[in-house]
């Protein structure tokens, strides 16, 4: 809880809260929740603007006590003045950020979010449900090569290239066995998504990762284990289950042949409890 009188404790708590929000906001179960979150962010920017001014003023107020590491008062005073100037300049830039956020906030308030589409008529007629299995996930230098390919030749070329990791039934069986099956393609807020036929390409140049998923159909009357299908939200946040009966050797061989570990299965820097699913009805952003 904020103290409202101890800047050290309140700054630490604000930093931790933003760190938690960075984790929690990677996926929204209910898109109408973005309106509330965004409103809090706008208010936070206003407060941050005030903080910058007050920190800058503290440097000016106590400028007479400033020295450098060698005890030179003149040099320390100049540093304090320069720091205050930069902080005031940062506050001015935040005014522009606030204006852009206010404009976005206005647009958000005019969005009516409808429920996620139910199973398509075609799928019901065919008696199947659609799932997506992970074919390959790349990051680091391997992902950079594919991202360069996308810039140079387009997403079609990238999908064609990544299909080399798809071994057909072998990839499907490995994904089903190890829980790399999703109810929808797992994507983050900044991911770009392209679908070509039964394949879905997701990539994020900023984060440096690329993945390819393939659509897989299952009979509607087939009951899947909870461990067999990983909801897209859980696939991103790392809360999704894996089949605990799968041997380590099997999982390793599967990765070497066709699948790359999802970024969510790596160590989570933001480690925190899983969120509960949001409401499913139509939601307004206001």
Check the CA dihedral 214-134-166-140 and report its sign.
Answer: positive
Structure tokens at 201: 């390409």
- The reported pLDDT for the residue numbered 223 is 45
Residues 102-133: tens digit of each pLDDT: 888 888 878 877 766 555 555 555 556 778 88
DSSP string of 56-116? Answer: HHHHHHTGGG---TT--HHHHHHHHHHHHHHHHHHHHHHHHHHHHHHHHHHHHTT-EEPPP
Instruction: Indicate the angle between helix axes 33-61 and 73-108, nearest 10 degrees.
Output: 160
How confident is residue 206, by pLDDT bands cut at 50, 70 and 90? confident
- The reported pLDDT for the residue numbered 248 is 38
How confident is residue 62, by pLDDT bands cut at 50, 70 and 90? very high
Nearest to 139 by CA among 262, 240, 271, 242: 262
Instruction: Using the predicted structure, report yes or no on whether residue 276 has a pLDDT greater than 60.
Output: no
- The reported pLDDT for the residue numbered 74 is 94
- The reported pLDDT for the residue numbered 221 is 54
Q: What average pLDDT does the segment 9-14 reach?
A: 92
pTM score: 0.45
Q: What average pLDDT does the segment 136-141 reach?
A: 88
């Amino acid at each position: 809880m904020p103290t409202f009188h101890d800047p050290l404790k309140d700054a630490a708590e604000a930093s931790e809260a933003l760190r938690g929000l960075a984790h929690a906001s990677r996926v929204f179960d209910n898109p109408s929740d973005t309106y509330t979150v965004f409103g809090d962010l706008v208010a936070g920017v206003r407060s941050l603007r005030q903080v910058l001014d007050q920190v800058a003023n503290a440097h000016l107020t106590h400028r007479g006590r400033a020295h450098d590491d060698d005890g030179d008062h003149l040099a320390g005073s100049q540093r304090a003045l320069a720091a205050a100037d930069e902080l005031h300049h940062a506050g001015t830039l935040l005014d522009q950020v606030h204006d852009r956020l206010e404009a976005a906030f206005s647009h958000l308030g005019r969005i009516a979010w409808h429920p996620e589409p139910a199973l398509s008529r075609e799928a019901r007629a065919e008696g199947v449900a659609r799932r997506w299995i992970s074919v390959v996930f790349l990051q680091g230098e391997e992902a950079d090569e594919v991202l360069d390919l996308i810039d140079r030749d387009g997403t079609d070329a990238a999908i064609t290239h990544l299909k080399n990791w798809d071994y057909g039934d072998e990839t499907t069986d490995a994904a089903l066995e190890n829980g790399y099956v999703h109810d929808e393609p797992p994507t983050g807020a900044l991911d770009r998504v392209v679908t070509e036929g039964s394949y879905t390409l997701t990539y994020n140049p900023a984060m440096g990762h690329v993945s390819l998923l393939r659509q897989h159909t299952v009979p509607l009357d087939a009951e899947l284990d909870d461990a067999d299908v990983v909801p897209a939200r859980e696939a991103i946040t790392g809360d999704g289950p894996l089949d605990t009966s799968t041997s380590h050797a099997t999982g390793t061989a599967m990765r070497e042949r066709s699948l790359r570990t999802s970024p969510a299965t790596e160590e989570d820097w933001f480690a925190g409890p899983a969120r509960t699913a949001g409401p499913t009805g139509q939601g307004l952003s206001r």
